[in-house]
Amino acid sequence: MPNVKSAAKRLRQNTKARIRNRDKRSALRTAIKKLRASIAEGNVEQAKAQLPLTISVIDHNARVGIIHKNQAARNASRLTLAVNAMGQEQA
């Protein structure tokens, strides 16, 4: 336990932030898994509908600092390429 008042406050703040970040990271992973499931099923319309929502979640998490901006860009790029490749296969 902290001995200093400021350290006690920092502990409280870190605990709240850890819980908040855990929830946001979980929502991020869920969104990516749903999009990847749509891609695996070959459901083009559903994947194209989910892509902007998933990229929005990725960008928000990068902006808040939950994931690194390069990781966000990499994930968004790879998911976009996968969805676009689905459209090419159908044509």
Taken in order 23, 29, 30, 35, the sign of the CA dihedral is positive
The domain segmentation of the chain, as residue ranges, is 5-90
pTM: 0.85
- The string of pLDDT tens digits covering residues 21-69 is 999 999 999 999 999 999 999 999 999 999 999 999 999 999 999 999 9
Q: Domain 5-90, what fold? A: Methane Monooxygenase Hydroxylase; Chain G, domain 1 (1.20.58)
Determine the average pLDDT of the residues in 71-77: 98
pLDDT bucket at 87, cuts 50 / 70 / 90: confident
Q: Report the Cα 27 to chain-centroid distance in Å.
A: 7
| DSSP of the chain | --SSHHHHHHHHHHHHHHHHHHHHHHHHHHHHHHHHHHHHHT-HHHHHHHHHHHHHHHHHHHHHTSS-HHHHHHHHHHHHHHHHHHHHHH-
